[in-house]
């Protein structure tokens, strides 16, 4: 119909397919059908600390164990191309168990500009994969991941956005079982517009925090 097109890409490594991607595109078509969920009400990013600032605060605690210090320093050494400000830091880092839902503000480090929407989409895709599957583990503070792997990941872009400006990422997991977990994500512009939606299923094999046996 000259308004939609679909492209398929297969990535092959050593003669074996390791990734299959299908992308759908369309011509911009205004429609009277338009709605979205309301954006969650959360503190603004200007009032929150980045992960790096939070880690520095944790490291300054005199009663911190050596194992905890080692783990935090490893996190601090990771060079991540996005800035992150958790809405609930203890829940984000699984220091306190809770429902399988987390929210954090994210943006690219550095300036991208208004005219490079393809790069903004690439950054958003990176953000979408950054913490989505880990949301499944949030209620299970007694277990840690032994093996995780993404089985499929889908993303839908709804509106233009700037990934070098703060965006709210809302992650939730409606189901887990049989060593699999399903998670959904919504990426919000700061002005409340839903920019993108994503969904991911993955394998999650875990073990007790102080043990080695599989769950």
Comparing CA positions, the residue from 168, 166, 129 lying closest to residue 149 is 129
> Exactly one of 36, 44, 150, 179 is catalytic; which is it?
150
**129 is known as an active-site residue:** yes
Question: Cα(first)–Cα(last) distance of the chain, in Å?
Answer: 51
> Exactly one of 128, 163, 173, 200 is catalytic; which is it?
200
* Residues 120, 161: Cα–Cα separation, whole Å: 7
**200 is known as an active-site residue:** yes
> Exactly one of 88, 129, 146, 199 is catalytic; which is it?
129
**150 is known as an active-site residue:** yes
Place of tokens 């980045």: 50
* Residues 148, 136: Cα–Cα separation, whole Å: 11
Q: 81 by DSSP, 3-state: which? A: coil
Residue 135 corresponds to which tokens in the numbers above?
């949301």
**What size, in residues, is the chain?**
215
| Catalytically annotated residues | 129, 150, 200
């Amino acid at each position: 119909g000259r308004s939609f097109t679909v492209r398929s890409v297969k990535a092959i490594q050593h003669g074996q397919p390791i990734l299959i991607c299908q992308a759908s595109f369309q011509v911009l078509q205004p429609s009277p059908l338009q709605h979205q969920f309301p954006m969650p009400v959360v503190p603004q990013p200007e009032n929150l600390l980045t992960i790096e600032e939070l880690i520095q605060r944790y490291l300054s605690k005199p009663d911190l164990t050596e194992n905890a210090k080692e783990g935090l320093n490893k996190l601090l050494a990771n060079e991540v191309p996005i800035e992150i400000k958790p809405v609930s830091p203890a829940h984000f880092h699984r220091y306190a168990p809770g429902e399988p839902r987390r929210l954090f503000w994210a943006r690219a480090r550095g300036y991208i500009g208004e005219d490079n929407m393809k790069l903004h989409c690439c950054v958003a895709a990176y953000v979408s994969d950054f913490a989505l599957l880990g949301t499944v583990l949030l209620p299970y503070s007694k277990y840690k991941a032994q093996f995780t792997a993404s089985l499929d990941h889908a993303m839908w872009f709804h509106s233009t956005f700037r990934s070098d400006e703060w965006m709210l990422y809302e992650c939730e997991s409606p189901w887990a079982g049989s060593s699999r977990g399903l998670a959904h994500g919504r990426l919000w512009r700061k002005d409340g517009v839903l920019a993108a939606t994503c969904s991911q299923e993955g394998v999650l094999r875990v073990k007790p925090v102080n043990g080695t046996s599989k769950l």
